[in-house]
């Protein structure tokens, strides 16, 4: 055998490392490598721990002890001494928005800490000067509650700074837009315009639009502002390649689900181009966005034509992303009871539906047979119930559907996740999901509804399949923050083993690749990460400090710290 290389190693990975440095990764690394003297957590129930792993041509051939691993390798194999380092399968993040997080189609970010909306004038003016022209000026980053506090129509604040071009600023959660009069004019919104499906045009006492567009009303603005052009597609591509993919690898993420692939903006073509150019460093399942205001027959036909599940490709177009409801602090999450506070001048408000239970069932019935799995945004307890009902009505045992966010679940629905084979996808990276913040929304939904937000422990006890994800860039991308939070959020904490499964083998199942990756076993492909600390040997409160030393995809090193 060749010379032993001390951790972290390059050796036969030098070519793949150089490819990574330029953004690329070979389809499968050639050669033999034995990783030994490590603390390898396999996520294989039959053999959870090992010290060595033998990888040949990007495929794991053996996992077990040092001596046997070396014996199975040929004389020319490279030996990598892990020096006791912790190794685990690559992280799967099955709900994030890499293109939106990376693209320069949004030209500026505002200070989230401002409490007076009038104080955004300087930032808007600076952005306007830096991005001259008459086209759309798009920003991001404010809190909706701050804009609600305006003492005049919010659109006028922007109008005073920029009136000759459309300006729109997305709220941090992406569930509302603050815009100026020019933007409303381009959208054709006036006093007679009805609220769109799944959205609300906020108005003053005289019926005049204020410049706040809630949920799908804001999405429809972005459909216009971000209509596909060569320049915008190039911005998406460069953002993904130059920033997004590097951030994923840095965080040990080897598989992702793009949770809002806007096919009308050609997002799916951006992903395919990254793979065709040899720059893709993750496996990606794309969730085609279901537009709430589209005609169902034509939309179903359009997305069906885009289905792609090539086993030789890292990119699969095999999921549908749709929203059942909105979010709590907008009072648009679909709840079983009315909100205690009225923002919209409605006689009653129990939230809204982008897609009703009946429409969700219709889409599942039409598309599941093609091979699509459904990724359903369901945050309120009514939305969770309706999502489960729709799957029960139209889904089959072949579907691998999931509800994401699941912040509020009525107790009688907990057991239905397992019985219907529906995955509960949760995000606990954000501080707002931690128990000390559960009652922050009492003024909106009442204390009885906020007593058990994201009930991970209850779901696990009911044998539900749980996945954990980031919802980047709404929350931090770092999976070790989520891992640490998941095991410390008493009374709804889960074990470290369960949390790691949620980020690996459970998520691999959701992506229909559990027989390929998600655990470190013989005959699976070598997607794995090497960490600077063993999460089983440190305090749970410090898991969030873990760093990724190396990330491997198909045996190729795509990141080295």
Q: Residue 155 corresponds to which tokens in the numbers above?
A: 């659109």
Residue 170: beta bridge partners?
A: 140, 177
Task: List, for residues 60-103, the tens digit of each pLDDT value.
Answer: 999 999 999 999 999 999 999 999 999 999 999 999 999 999 99
pLDDT, residue 344, reads 92
Decide whether 94-98+228-510 matches 106-225 in CATH topology.
Answer: no
Q: Residue 435 corresponds to which tokens in the numbers above?
A: 């128990």
Residue 139: beta bridge partners?
A: 108, 169
Q: Report angle CA 31, 33, 36 to the nearest 5 degrees.
A: 175
- Phi first, then psi: what are they for 9, rounded to 5°? -105, 155
pLDDT, residue 186, reads 98
CATH class belonging to 94-98+228-510: alpha beta
pLDDT, residue 27, reads 52
Classified as helix, coil or strand, 147 is helix
As a whole number of angstroms, the distance between CA 166 and CA 10 comes to 51
| Helix %, strand %, coil % of the chain (to 5) | 35, 20, 40
Classified as helix, coil or strand, 64 is strand
Task: State the SS3 of 165-192.
Answer: CCEEEEECCCCEEEECHHHHHHHCCCCC
- One of 3.40.50.2000, 3.30.750.24, 3.10.310.70, 1.20.210.10 is the CATH number of 106-225, namely 3.10.310.70
Task: List, for residues 368-383, the tens digit of each pLDDT value.
Answer: 999 999 999 999 999 9
Calculate the alpha carbon distances from 257 to 56, 98, 288, 459, 476 in Å: 27, 9, 10, 22, 16
Task: State the SS3 of 92-115.
Answer: EEEEECHHHHHCCCCCEECCCCCC
Calculate the alpha carbon distances from 379 to 47, 353, 450, 511, 533 in Å: 37, 11, 12, 21, 34
What is the CATH code for 4-90+523-560? Answer: 2.30.40.10
- Phi first, then psi: what are they for 109, rounded to 5°? -120, 135
**Within 13 Å of residue 143, how many CA atoms lie on the same side as its CB?**
10
Closest CA to 171 of 147, 144, 210: 144
As a whole number of angstroms, the distance between CA 137 and CA 149 comes to 23
Pairing of strands 528-531, 52-56: unpaired
Q: Residue 418 corresponds to which tokens in the numbers above?
A: 């397992």
Task: List, for residues 518-527, the tens digit of each pLDDT value.
Answer: 999 999 999 9
Contact present, 461 and 494 (Cβ < 8 Å) = no
As a whole number of angstroms, the distance between CA 228 and CA 385 comes to 36
pLDDT, residue 12, reads 31
Q: Residue 50 corresponds to which tokens in the numbers above?
A: 């090992």
Give the global pTM: 0.93
Closest CA to 375 of 353, 350, 399: 399
Domain boundaries, the chain: 4-90+523-560, 94-98+228-510, 106-225
Closest CA to 198 of 180, 219, 183, 184: 219
- Phi first, then psi: what are they for 390, rounded to 5°? -65, -40
pLDDT, residue 28, reads 63
As a whole number of angstroms, the distance between CA 88 and CA 35 comes to 12
- Please, what are the averages of pLDDT over each run of 10 residues along the chain (561 residues)? 35 35 52 97 98 98 98 95 98 97 94 94 96 95 94 96 97 95 97 95 94 97 97 97 98 98 98 98 98 98 98 97 97 97 91 98 98 98 98 94 98 98 97 94 96 97 98 95 98 98 98 98 98 98 98 97 95
Please state, as a whole number, how many other Cβ atoms lie within 10 Å of the Cβ of residue 115.
9
Please state, as a whole number, how many other Cβ atoms lie within 10 Å of the Cβ of residue 528.
27
């Amino acid at each position: 055998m060749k010379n032993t290389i001390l951790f972290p190693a390059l050796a036969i990975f030098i070519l793949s490392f150089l490819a990574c440095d330029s953004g690329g990764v070979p389809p499968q690394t050639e050669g033999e490598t034995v990783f030994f003297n490590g603390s390898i957590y396999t996520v294989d129930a039959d053999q959870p721990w090992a010290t060595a792993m033998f990888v040949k041509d990007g495929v794991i051939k053996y996992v077990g002890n040092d001596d046997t691993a070396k014996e199975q390798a040929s004389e020319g194999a490279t030996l990598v001494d892990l020096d006791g380092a912790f190794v685990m399968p690559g992280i799967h993040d099955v709900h994030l928005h890499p293109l939106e997080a990376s693209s320069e189609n949004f030209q500026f970010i505002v200070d989230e800490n401002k409490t007076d909306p009038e104080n955004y004038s300087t930032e808007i003016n600076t952005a306007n000067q830096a991005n001259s022209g008459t086209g759309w000026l798009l920003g991001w980053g404010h809190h909706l509650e701050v804009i609600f506090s305006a003492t005049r129509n919010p659109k006028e604040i922007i109008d005073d700074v920029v009136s000759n071009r459309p300006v729109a600023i997305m709220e941090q959660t992406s569930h509302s837009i603050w815009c100026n009069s020019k933007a409303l004019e381009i959208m054709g919104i006036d006093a007679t315009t009805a609220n769109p499906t799944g959205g609300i045009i906020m108005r003053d006492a005289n019926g005049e639009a204020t410049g706040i567009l809630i949920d799908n009303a804001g999405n429809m603005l972005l459909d216009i502002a971000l209509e596909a052009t060569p320049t915008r597609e190039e911005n998406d591509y460069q953002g993904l390649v130059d920033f997004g993919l590097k951030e994923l690898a840095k965080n040990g993420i080897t598989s992702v689900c793009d949770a809002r692939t806007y096919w009308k903006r050609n997002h799916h073509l951006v992903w395919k181009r990254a793979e065709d150019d040899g720059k893709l460093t993750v496996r990606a399942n794309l969730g085609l966005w279901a537009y709430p205001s589209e005609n169902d027959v034509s939309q179903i036909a359009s997305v069906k034509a885009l289905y792609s599940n090539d086993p030789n490709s890292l990119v699969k177009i095999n999921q549908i992303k749709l929203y059942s409801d909105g979010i709590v602090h907008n009072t648009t999450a679909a709840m079983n009871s009315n909100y205690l506070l009225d923002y919209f001048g409605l006689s009653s408000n129990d939230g809204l539906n982008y897609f009703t239970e009946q429409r969700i069932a219709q889409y599942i019935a039409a598309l599941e047979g093609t091979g699509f799995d459904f990724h359903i945004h369901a945050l309120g307890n009514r939305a969770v119930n309706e999502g489960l009902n729709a799957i029960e009505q139209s889904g089959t045992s072949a579907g691998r559907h999931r509800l994401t966010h699941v912040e509020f679940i009525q107790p009688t629905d907990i057991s239905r996740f397992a019985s219907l084979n529906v995955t509960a996808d949760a995000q606990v990276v954000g501080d707002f999901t931690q128990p000390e913040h559960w009652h922050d929304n009492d003024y909106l939904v009442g204390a009885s509804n906020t007593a058990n937000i994201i009930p991970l422990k209850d779901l696990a006890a009911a044998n539900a399949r749980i996945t954990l994800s980031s919802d980047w860039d709404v929350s931090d991308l770092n999976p070790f923050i989520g891992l640490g939070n998941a095991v410390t959020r008493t009374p709804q904490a889960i074990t470290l083993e369960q949390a790691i499964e949620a980020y690996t083998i459970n998520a691999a199942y959701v992506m229909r690749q559990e027989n390929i990756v998600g655990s470190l076993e013989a005959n699976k492909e070598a997607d794995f990460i090497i960490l600077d600390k063993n999460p089983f040997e440190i305090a749970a409160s410090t898991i969030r400090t873990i760093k990724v030393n190396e990330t491997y995809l198909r045996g190729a090193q795509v990141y080295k710290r």
